[in-house]
């Protein structure tokens, strides 16, 4: 199956899927986008929001997101035009982050994948295949 690219060239469906998945690489991208879904946030508040959302009762969840990994995630999201970094006019020297229309569209596109994962989450626990 072929899809037409921006320059009129034919690009395989598989390549389009690979391109889309590469935007999501890095385990924190969707977490950052989801934290920004309700509006812009300054750096520290965004980091706190992501880490709070990842904390699960009973000790589950990922380790807290470090500043270095968080900064790399923000730069990657900006490079893909998923978020904007803006100066906060109310606070000198403070930057805020917001979703772009492309970032909002990506969150909407990921929703069916999340629903799929929720639907099959319990089944995976019972239907695990043993590989010897």
DSSP state of 88: -
Q: pTM of the predicted model, to two decimals?
A: 0.76
At 131 the pLDDT is: 55
52, 106 Cβ separation under 8 angstroms? no
* pLDDT score at 111: 92
pLDDT at 129: 52
Domain boundaries, the chain: 2-124
Q: Distance between CA atoms of 104 and 65, rounded to whole angstroms? A: 22
pLDDT for position 30? 92
Q: Which fold would CATH assign to domain 2-124? A: Arc Repressor Mutant, subunit A (1.10.10)
pLDDT value of residue 43: 95
| Mean pLDDT in consecutive groups of 10 residues from the start of the chain, 132 residues | 55 87 86 94 95 68 82 95 92 92 95 90 61 54
Q: Hey, is 96 helix, strand or coil?
A: strand
| 21: Cα separation from own chain's centroid | 11
pLDDT of residue 6: 54
């Amino acid at each position: 199956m072929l899809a037409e690219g921006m320059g009129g060239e034919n690009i395989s469906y598989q390549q389009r899927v690979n391109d889309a998945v590469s935007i999501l690489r890095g385990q924190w991208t969707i977490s950052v986008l989801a934290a920004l879904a309700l509006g812009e946030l300054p750096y520290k508040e965004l980091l706190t929001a992501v880490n709070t959302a990842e904390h699960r009762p009973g000790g589950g969840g990922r380790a807290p997101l470090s500043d270095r990994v968080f900064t790399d995630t923000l730069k990657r999201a900006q490079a893909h035009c998923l978020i904007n970094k803006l100066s906060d006019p109310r606070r000198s020297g403070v930057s805020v982050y917001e979703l772009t229309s492309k970032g909002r569209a990506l969150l909407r596109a990921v929703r069916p994948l999340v629903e799929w994962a929720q639907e099959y989450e319990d089944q995976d626990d019972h239907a695990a295949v043993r590989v010897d």
